[in-house]
Each structure stands twice: as C-alpha cells, then as structure tokens.
C-alpha cells in the first residue's frame, strides 16, 4: 500500500513529517541574519536546496561546516 503524506487526514501531515524526519540535518546557505548572530535570540534566514521557501532558524541551532 502506498499513499502521499499530503493525503493523510489524521494526524496532521506536518506532525508525521516531524516524527519521520525531525532529527535529520539539512545543509544550506545563510542568506541573512537578524543581528551579528551573537545575541541570545538571533535568527538566520537559510536557503536550502530542494525547499522552495527560505527557512528561519535560531542562530544557536546552526552548525558551521568547514
């Protein structure tokens, strides 16, 4: 049996995605910062390949790849 996540009626499809993929790491490019990134409540705007819209993430959750 197969079906699309967007066709799930209950529970909310976003909660299903969170359970399945909530701990996966995404790679992206920082486009903008709410400040220098050093403030406690700073956020970054990230462009992620494969996601149409840019995402906003707390700056303290970002790991930098070298």
Looking at residue 65, its pLDDT comes to: 73
Task: Let me know: does 45 contact 38? Beta carbons within 8 Å.
Answer: no
Separation CA 22–CA 61 (nearest Å): 14
Annotated domain spans of the chain: 5-61
49 phi, psi to nearest 5 deg: -60, 135
Say if residue 30's pLDDT is above 80.
yes
- Enter the pTM of the model: 0.73
pLDDT classification of 64: cutoffs 50, 70, 90: confident
Angle, CA of 29, 27 and 44, to the nearest 5°: 45
Q: Among all chains, which residue has been given the structure tokens 């486009």?
A: 31
């Amino acid at each position: 049996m197969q079906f699309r996540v967007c066709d799930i009626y209950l529970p909310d499809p976003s909660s299903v995605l969170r359970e399945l993929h909530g701990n996966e790491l995404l790679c992206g490019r920082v486009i903008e910062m709410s400040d220098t990134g050093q403030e406690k409540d700073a956020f970054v705007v990230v462009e992620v390949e494969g996601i149409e819209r840019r995402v906003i993430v707390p700056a303290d959750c970002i790991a930098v790849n070298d």
